[in-house]
Amino acid sequence: MLKENEYIKRTDIEKNLSISSSTAIKLLRNMVENSIIEKLGKGKNVIYRLK
């Protein structure tokens, strides 16, 4: 998804992968910790992009 779009939101991950909010959060957190993506913004305005 990130190769097709510059940015994604948690809700995009949930819809495209058909996963729960908590699973999406865990997945995104893991990807941030492994320096695959970076988190920009806070709260409801958080977006993610490739590093």
Residue the block writes with tokens 């958080």: 46
Percent of the chain with pLDDT over 70: 100
The residue-averaged pLDDT of 6-17 equals 94
Q: Residue 4 pLDDT > 90, yes or no?
A: no
Give the model's confidence band at 39: pLDDT under 50 very low, under 70 low, under 90 confident, else very high. Answer: very high
